[in-house]
Amino acid sequence: MPSNNSYTGRHRPPSKPSRGRQFVVPVALLSSTVAGGLVVRQAGAQELSPEAAAMKNVSNSVAGLGLAADPDAVAAAAANRAGARSSRDMARDASAIIVGATTSAEAAAADAQEAADRAAAAEKARAKAKAEADRKAKEAARARAIARAHRWVNPLSGYTLTSGFGWRWGKMHPAQDLAVATGTPVHALSSGTVVFSGWSTEGYGYMVKIRYWDGTVSWMAHNSRLVVSVGEEVEPGQLVSYSGSTGNSTGPHVHLEIHPDDGAAVSPRPWLADRGVYL
């Protein structure tokens, strides 16, 4: 700014002492031709050529706009702004990367958890299926064991049916007689417990009584030999005695009685036929 040694009003003095000569240096925006026309004279002299005055005004206006900065500074500022933009971009990019990575990590964790859950569920289902299969297998095995234990079988083989169930010679015969050679193996009809094995004082000779799993009691009389004892558990078809003609008997045979629920005797043939055994 050109100095002026005369002040009026409340204007403050210049911050720097006045120098003998001052030059108005046009800013970079001025063309060399115009700049060459600038002539600065003694301090205080405000006589500028019209062109120089005009350019000075331009210069001042430009300076007032703050555009007369050092090109290097401008470039540096621009670089800084670019750098700032780059930094913002990088920060934004980094943020995006972090967000992306976090999202990926969370997704991976979720996937892993989901996979673990699926595996656990599959294992649980497999264990449950195995337990169910084991339970069914045990149940089936138990059912088969029960079926085996509850089956009914023929007491002996090689016999001839003689006296049947009913009245004979004016007397009730509550049994089926099976004529067979002495010493023929006699078997339990099903699973049960031996409730009598010994000599009968009522004419049955050596007799075996078995109470079966359904409560029925069988009598097998006139044996020559007994091979089971009272309280013994027997299985279907198990040997219990050998046939004979002991007691009140006219010849070797097995006298077979069937007492449902240990009650009155019933006809053995239809009763056994109902259980798949045909004498």
**Interface residues toward Zn ion, by CB under 5 A:** 175, 177, 255
Please measure the distance between the N-terminal and C-terminal CA atoms of the chain and give it in whole angstroms. 145
Using the minimum distance from each CB to Zn ion, give the nearer residue, 68 or 196.
Answer: 196
Cβ closest to Zn ion, residue 59 vs residue 177: 177
**Angle of CA points 22, 23, 29, to nearest 5°:** 150
**Residue 60 vs 182, nearer CB to Zn ion:** 182
Residue of this chain nearest to Zn ion (CB atom)? 255
For the bound state, the minimum distance from the C-beta of residue 149 to Zn ion, rounded and expressed in Å, comes to 28
State which residue, 162 or 193, has the beta carbon closest to Zn ion.
Answer: 162
Burial of 175 (0-12, 13-18, 19+ CB in 10 A): buried
Buried b (16+ CB within 10 A) or exposed e, 48-74: beeebeebbeebeebeeeeeeeeeeee
- What residues have CB less than 8 Å from 34, skipping those under 6 apart? 26, 51, 55
Q: In the block, which residue shows the tokens 């003095």?
A: 13
Does residue 156 sit in helix, strand or coil?
coil
Nearest distance from residue 255's CB to Zn ion, in Å? 3
CB of 144 to Zn ion, least distance (A): 36
Distance (Å, rounded) from C-alpha 155 to C-alpha 240? 10
Region class of 176: left (phi > 0), else alpha (psi between -120 and 50), else beta: beta
Nearer to Zn ion, 198 or 203 (CB): 203
Do the Cβ atoms of 159 and 256 come closer than 8 Å? Answer: no
Residue 177 or 226: the one with the smaller Cβ distance to Zn ion is 177
- CB-nearer residue toward Zn ion: 64 or 170: 170
Q: How far is the CB of 262 from Zn ion (least distance, A)?
A: 19
CA 117, 121, 123, 124 dihedral sign is: positive
**Least spacing, CB of residue 267 vs Zn ion, in Å:** 13
Please state the closest distance from residue 200 (CB atom) to Zn ion, in A.
Answer: 12
**219 in Cβ contact with 226 (< 8 Å):** no
Compute the least distance from the CB of residue 163 to Zn ion, in Å.
Answer: 6
